[in-house]
Amino acid sequence: MGLSKSLKISRISIISSLTFLIPITLTISISVGYAKIGFVEAFMAIFGNVEGLDSVSRAIILEIRFPRACAALLAGAVLAISGSVVQGALRNALASPFTMGVSSGASFGAALIIVAGVSSSIYVMMLSAFAFALLAALVSLGIARLKGVTPQSLILSGVAMMYLFSAGVTLLQYIAREWQLTELVYWTMGDLRRIDWGRFTFMLPAVFTCLPLFAYAWDLNTLMMGEEVAKSLGTNPRRVRTICTLLAALSTSIIVCSTGPIGFICLIAPHIARFLVGTDYRFSMVCSVLIGGLLLLLADTTARIVLMPIELPVGVVTAAMGVPFFVSLLLRTRKDIW
């Protein structure tokens, strides 16, 4: 009993420390860049005190860096919890909403608008990306239902959708004009450079689609023990898998249609969370949210300053972080990571 209580306190301490790091990291992200802004000035601006700032600094903070940093926190948090839930529901450490074809579907939707030249509005492109991302997830779930919504059927149907829409993107790249190809390639790398308060508002519904996932923490814990044990404890594995993967895919679709596909956050963050607080989803889901937000915020800050004044797509930085992480995970793991 004492050990259990001590472990719980340790988990709460870790989560509290990560929460404390968020405003500090947010302030650092806003203060660094081509235009130098003091840490104190950035911190005060975040909390509404902009009296001591000149008009240029005020515009840089409030109209460019602050919405971008908030979007990075939000996108990282949503991608992380979506990845955590999908990994738990499918009992596969390499599963994620992207495995269900969400990213390739969004890429195809955006590419279709860019190449077809239907509209120059960024919001039309975002709506198309969202529609095709959600379509990929729904078709994956529909195919999986024919086999009883098992982890294997969900993963295989998702991979099929991923390759189908990837083929569509490749075809559109082949027929695209030079300027369209440049736009398309840059979008598919994942990018936060164009985020403003309008696009950030477009991302907010992802928060509300993620919130119901926390109610399934206990069910995900029981699924780790196997389907038979889960059923004996009152969990309906098929229902939990369907709802969790659908909500995770919907949340990820909302994010991806605004930022483009940002890889590895939904894979890295849940693994780090399990390492820090264990496999209990009551704690690991919260920890994943915090780590995901911090990771993407740090990645975006790095993308802005590493080759300053040139800005890298944030997807390049997250991929650079993700590959060494998984190689390290593979080399260190001697048993199943669950």
Q: What is the CATH number of the domain that holds 193?
A: 1.10.3470.10
Tell me, what's the pLDDT at 258? 86
Domain around 49? 2-332
Q: Does position 14 have pLDDT exceeding 60, yes or no? A: yes
Q: Which residues of 121-144 are buried (b: 16+ CB within 10 A; e: fewer)?
A: ebeebbbbbbbbbbbbbbbbbebb
Q: Is residue 338 part of a domain?
A: no
Q: Does position 332 have pLDDT exceeding 90, yes or no? A: no
Q: Is residue 148 part of a domain?
A: yes
Residue 52 banded pLDDT, cuts 50, 70, 90: low
Q: Is residue 337 part of a domain?
A: no
At 307 the three-state DSSP class reads strand
Residue 76 banded pLDDT, cuts 50, 70, 90: very high
Domain count of the chain? Answer: 1
Q: Does position 1 have pLDDT exceeding 80, yes or no? A: no
Q: Is residue 217 part of a domain?
A: yes
Residue, of 83 and 37, whose pLDDT is higher:
83
CB 165 within 8 A of CB 137: no
Q: Left if phi > 0, otherwise alpha if psi is -120 to 50, otherwise beta: which for 264?
A: left
Q: Is residue 208 part of a domain?
A: yes
* Residue 62 DSSP symbol: I
Q: Is residue 36 part of a domain?
A: yes
Tell me, what's the pLDDT at 141? 84
- Decide: pTM greater than 0.85: yes
Tell me, what's the pLDDT at 231? 85
Q: Is residue 302 part of a domain?
A: yes
